[in-house]
Chain A
Amino acid sequence: METLAMPAINFAAIMPETILSAVAMALLLVNVFVRSEQKAYLGYLSLIGILVTFFPIVAGWNAPVELQSGFNGAVLQDNFSLFFKGIFLVSAALSILISDQYMQREGCNHGELYPLILLATAGMMLMASGTDLMVIFLGLELLSVALYVLAGFNRDKLKSNEAGLKYFLLGAFSTGFLLYGMALTFGATGTTKIAGIAAYVAANPMITGNQMFLVGMLLMGVGFSFKIAAAPFHMWTPDVYEGAPTPMTAFMSVGPKAAGFAAFLRVFMIALPAYKPEWSALLWVLAVLTMTVGNITALFQQDIKRMLAYSSIAHAGYVLVGFVAGNAVGTAGIMFYMLSYAFMNIGAFAIILLVGRKGEPNNNVADYAGFGFKHPLLGLAMSIFLFSLAGIPPAAGFIGKFYIFSGAIQAGYIWLAIIGVLNSAASVYYYLRVMVFMYMKDPVEEFDWLKVTPAHALCLLVAVAGVLIPGIVPGYLLELAQKAVFF
Chain B
Amino acid sequence: MVPLPYYLIVSGILFSIGTIGVLTRRNAIVIFMCVELMLNAVNLTFIAFSHELGKIDGQVFVFFIMTVAAAEAAVGLALMIAFYKNRESIDVEDVNLMKW
Contacts and interface: CB of A to CB of B under 8 A. Distances in A.
Contacts of A156: 86
A165 B100 contact: no
Interface in B59-87: 60-61, 64-65, 68, 71-72, 75-76, 78-80, 82-83, 86-87
Nearest to B55: A190
B39 A176 contact: yes
Nearest to A159: B97
Interface of B: 8, 15, 18-19, 22, 28, 31-32, 35, 38-39, 41-42, 45-46, 48-49, 52-53, 55, 57-58, 60-61, 64-65, 68, 71-72, 75-76, 78-80, 82-83, 86-87, 92, 95, 97-98, 100
A152 B100 contact: no
Contacts of A176: 15, 18-19, 35, 38-39, 42
Contacts, number: 127
B100 A134 contact: no
A141 B76 contact: no
Contacts of A163: 98
Interface of A: 133-134, 137-138, 141, 145, 148-149, 152, 155-159, 161-166, 168-169, 172-173, 175-176, 179-180, 182-184, 186-187, 190-192, 235, 238-239, 242-243, 297, 306
Contact of A238 (B39, B65, B71, B98): B98
B38 A161 contact: no
Given A168-B76, A183-B46, A184-B45, A162 B64 contact: no
Contacts of B92: 169
Contacts of B49: 183, 186-187, 190
A39 B25 CA distance: 41
A169 B79 CA distance: 10
A180 B71 contact: no
B44 to A, nearest CB: 9
B98 A242 contact: yes
A168 B22 CA distance: 13
Given A172-B35, A192-B58, 9 more contacts: A133-B61, A134-B57, A138-B68, A161-B82, A173-B35, A186-B46, A186-B49, A192-B57, A235-B100
